[in-house]
Chain A
Amino acid sequence: MRDAVRKIHLLALLQLTFLAACGGSGGGSLSTGGTGGTGGSGQTIASAAPNVVTMTVDAGPAGLGANTTFNIPYISVTICVPGSTTNCQTIDHIEVDTGSYGLRVISSVLNPAIFSGLPQEATSANVPIVECTQFGDGFSWGSMRLADISISGEKAASVPMQVMGDPNYPTIPTPCSNTGPEEDTVAQFGANGILGVGPFVQDCGPPCTSSTQYGLYYACPTGGGACSPTFVLLSQEAANPVATFTTDNNGVIMELPSVPDAGAITAKGALVFGIGTEGNNALGSATVLTTDTSGEISVTYNNVSYPTSFIDSGSNLNFIDPGSVTVCGTSPNQLLCPSSEISTSATAVGLNGTQSTVKFNIGDSTTLFNNNPSFTAFNNVAAPSSDPLKKTFDFGLPFFYGHNVFTAIEGMNTAGGMGPYFAY
């Protein structure tokens, strides 16, 4: 194994550019011939309705240059100054992420009237609250503000959201900048913002109401004084706005169509609000997999159990234990590149003991990307998991094509029981 890994490193050194972005020389022909998509038979994608917003996988917002995106689902979100019906802005290319919580928007995309109108959250000493959001590839730094959030016909009043890269707070505390690279511009982030609709309400939850050890929330004096770590109220934490909708507030369904094995230029589906609350969002025969307090389930793959696994629309690849499959590629992702496409399966097991086996394919990711550089939707691309403990199987966006994936929010009742759970 060591020799194989070292060989991969040597190979990577010879690759001077990011394979997925450069396109150009094709790496041989792809052996396809498998069935398109994963599952998908009988899938219904909701048509336009007040609880439905179009969700599209495409190359991302303008201004990304060579770093266009793939396997990232986007929607449009409207924010208003609380109580206003006129000081509003609709923002496109908001990334939909079941692996995080709350709405966060890049400050530079906000128009000045709404930016200045969004009230800032403050501590009990009336010091503005600024968040250091930790992601898996860097951090975002920006003020916590309140906004009325509308998506299609759904509305949430006065919800805490983050303005990423707020120029009013230019000095990032060292403990925050020490967590990685900053991602506060559209070019750095690959989206105009992100909507976290995972199975919890807040991004931190109770821990950040009594401890500053997590490094998420800071009190930053207006006018530029030094920021200091702070507790916040649960109601002040960045929050999944779906839980605050007046109706259809117990979860979401991500509905993306199947795509061919070779991929597709784009994929257009729907983000549906509510589970079993309308005629278009019934749980049906979907298998309910309850999660633990981290939002995790167990997955068995190749006879190995991965107890800290999750289902994440914000992961653009399936991140799995590569086993004997060839690893190739370099920054920003290593990739799996089998010489011929592999058809395999994994069994997801909920905390409730129910299980569901998922078939999926692993193609040669670099060849898939190189064959069609303009494609953005792939159901068969995977990469090695970064979990050092080798306990994680991350069902990323490739899993979502052809499945309607339900995410029920903690403490919310549904026909399938109480959240938190995933179902598909």
Chain B
Amino acid sequence: MKHSSRTGKVLGVALATVVAGSVLPAFAGLGGDAASVDVDVAKMKGQARATPVAGYTMSEITLPSGTVVHEFVSSEGKVFAVSWKGMAVPDLSQTLGTYFAEYKAAAAATPHASHHNLTVQQPDLVVRTGGHMRNWYGQAYVLSLLPPNFSPDDIK
């Protein structure tokens, strides 16, 4: 799957270092630091490349299932948004990090019968998922971590 920047502000492409080490930080995914992207790549056995955009960096991780995960890291070094799309739902405890428990609890509080979509909207966390069997997708972001010039609409 190929993704081009909608803003045309792509400055370059760099291969991210895949950390396969034994000591991994406790925090990874959404809300984690920049190094946690490498943790996610290692834990999900993915392949990654990073694309710097003005004010943030988007890392694209292709999982063995073919599902593509995007992690957005601010210039302050925090993962402020993630997204995914593909045949298999990725490990959301990895991609949502410390926010996974909040997502699960909030989702369970508003059960619904439509199994192709869900929005979880918390004071500081938004998770939106959907799709159909053989192609699922989703996105999540932390409002307090969004860079000044970043709109949730810029997630891809």
Contacts and interface: CB of A to CB of B under 8 A. Distances in A.
A124 B83 CA distance: 37
A314 B138 contact: no
Interface stretch (A95-103, A244-252, A261-269): A95-103
B153 A100 contact: no
Interface string A201-241: 00111010001011110000000000000000000000000
A332 B112 contact: yes
A332 B151 contact: no
Interface in B69-110: 70, 83-85, 87-94, 100, 103-104, 106-110
Interface residues of A, number: 76
Nearest to B150: A2
A215 to B, nearest CB: 6
B23 to A, nearest CB: 21
A333 interface: yes
A214 B87 contact: yes
Contacts of A211: 64-65
A387 B65 contact: no
A282 B101 CA distance: 50
Contacts of A316: 112-114, 117
Contacts of B51: none
B118 interface: yes
A5 B152 contact: yes
A60 B112 CA distance: 10
Nearest to B90: A179
Interface stretch (A26-34, A38-46, A388-396, A400-408): A388-396
A180 B132 contact: no
Nearest to A93: B113
Given A200-B134, A387-B137, A67 B117 contact: no
Contacts of A314: 114-116, 132
B35 interface: no
Contact of A383 (B117, B123, B138): B117
Interface of B: 3, 63-65, 70, 83-85, 87-94, 100, 103-104, 106-121, 123, 126, 128-139, 143, 149-153, 155-156
Given A136-B118, A314-B116, A388-B138, 16 more contacts: A9-B143, A18-B110, A69-B113, A71-B114, A137-B116, A137-B130, A179-B90, A181-B103, A189-B111, A190-B114, A198-B132, A310-B132, A314-B132, A330-B121, A386-B138, A392-B130
Give me the 8 closest cross-chain CB pairs, A-B, nearest first. Answer: A190-B113, A388-B83, A2-B151, A137-B118, A99-B132, A386-B130, A316-B114, A135-B115
